[in-house]
Amino acid sequence: MTNENPELEPMTRTQVLIAMGVTAVILLIVAKVWLHFDPVPQLPLFWKPEFLLLGVGVGLGLTGASAIVYKIWPAYRESADLYLRLVLEPLFYVDFIWLGLLPGLSEELLFRGVILPAFGLNVLGLIVSSVCFGVLHFTGMERWPYVIWATAVGLVLGYTALETGNLLVPIVAHIIINVVSSLTWKLGEAKAG
């Protein structure tokens, strides 16, 4: 496949896996350093079956919403395809476990676990943490629709954290979104190719 975007060079499987691991470690370090200098009370992470099921439901709901947005908004579809092709194309299906776990844990611990409470467990904190989450997914001006969608997803994930008082819900939802969306996209590309 030719690279449709010359500013982003194709990556190898190893490069993608290393980038995911390094990014996860960096986000966790940022969270720890932030908490060292600003020890805000964090939302707890605790196990309850109903929160696990809620996280799965939210993740599947957002994945379905993403599929609808993908079909009806051409600019989002193009930006998502560029981003997903860069990240997913070199990966094997087993790698999607890491694609779910590493960002699902590290991003939620930083954005919903630290940034949200640091700016307040209120609308301001929800908006700031969601915009920061969207900006994390910025990889170029032509992919701004992907950033808009990531911000919207951040709003939903943050809202679930606020409503439940438990980080388990957004973590599980994030993992489900990453795994199911990745599998769906990869399988769709395999059928098209």
- Give per-residue pLDDT as tens, 150-191: 999 999 999 999 999 999 999 999 999 999 999 999 998 888
In 3D, which of 190, 189, 177 has the Cα closest to residue 67?
A: 177
Each residue's pLDDT tens digit, 73-101: 999 999 989 888 888 999 999 999 999 99
Q: Is 3 a member of any domain?
A: no
pLDDT band at 7 (very low <50, low <70, confident <90, very high): low
Residue 42 lies in a domain: no
| In the predicted structure, residue 8 carries a pLDDT above the cut 90 | no
Find tokens 């930083």 and name the residue.
110
Residue 140 φ/ψ region, left for φ over 0, alpha for ψ in the -120 to 50 degree band, beta for the rest:
left
Q: Which amino acid is at 20?
A: M
What domain count does the chain have? 1
**Cα 105 to Cα 169: distance, rounded to the nearest angstrom:** 11
The whole-chain average pLDDT of the chain stands at: 93
Q: Which domain holds residue 130?
A: 49-192
Asked if pLDDT for residue 5 goes beyond 50, the answer is: no
Residue 8: inside a domain, yes or no?
no
Tell me if 129 is assigned to some domain.
yes
Give the sign of the dihedral formed by CA 129, CA 130, CA 131, CA 133.
positive
Contact yes or no for 115/40 (Cβ under 8 A): no
Among the ranges given (55-69, 97-111, 136-150), the one the predictor scored with the smallest mean pLDDT: 136-150
Residue pair 59/177 in contact (Cβ under 8 Å)? The answer is yes
Show the tokens assigned to 64: 């379905």
Inside any domain, residue 14: no
Residue 115, in any domain of the structure: yes
Q: What is the pLDDT of residue 101?
A: 96
In a domain, 11, yes or no: no
User: Model-level pTM?
Assistant: 0.92
Question: Quick check: is 77 in a domain?
Answer: yes
pLDDT band at 33 (very low <50, low <70, confident <90, very high): very high
